[in-house]
Amino acid sequence: DTGVSQDPRHKITKRGQNVTFRCDPISEHNRLYWYRQTLGQGPEFLTYFQNEAQLEKSRLLSDRFSAERPKGSFSTLEIQRTEQGDSAMYLCASSSVDTQYFGPGTRLTVL
């Protein structure tokens, strides 16, 4: 068990650019979650997968955000046409039952 990994750890981009983040879950976990966290707030749910199926997506998630989990292994989160309000920590978690284990996060800064 090597834990949940995320790449990159930090990303600085200019407004209007597209960015993609990767998450590798704990190997035996079939559920994978994406959250966003801003300073002083708790993580906010974005979307989650069971195997390769995307089962729930937050109503707060705009059309600029898309997530995939091909073959039920790693997942990617893409943000198109980034805005300054997208600056946040993007967290990935995985689980086999109820308890979610988090990765170290990707810190996004949009200039």
Residue 65 found at the interface with other proteins (CB under 8 A): no
By CB under 8 A, name the one of 17, 56, 81, 85 that touches other proteins. Answer: 56
Under rule CB under 8 A, which residues in 23-52 are in contact with other proteins? Answer: 31, 33, 35, 40-45, 48, 50
Q: CA 81 to CA 28: how far, in whole Å?
A: 34
The span from the CA of 110 to the CA of 30, in Å, is 32
Establish if 74 lies at the interface with other proteins (CB under 8 A). no
Beta-carbon contacts of residue 61 (< 8 Å; ≥ 6 apart) = 46, 47
CB of 3 to other proteins, least distance (A): 9
Q: Which is nearer to other proteins, 82 or 95 (CB)?
A: 95
Rounded to 5 degrees, φ, ψ at 66 are -145, 145
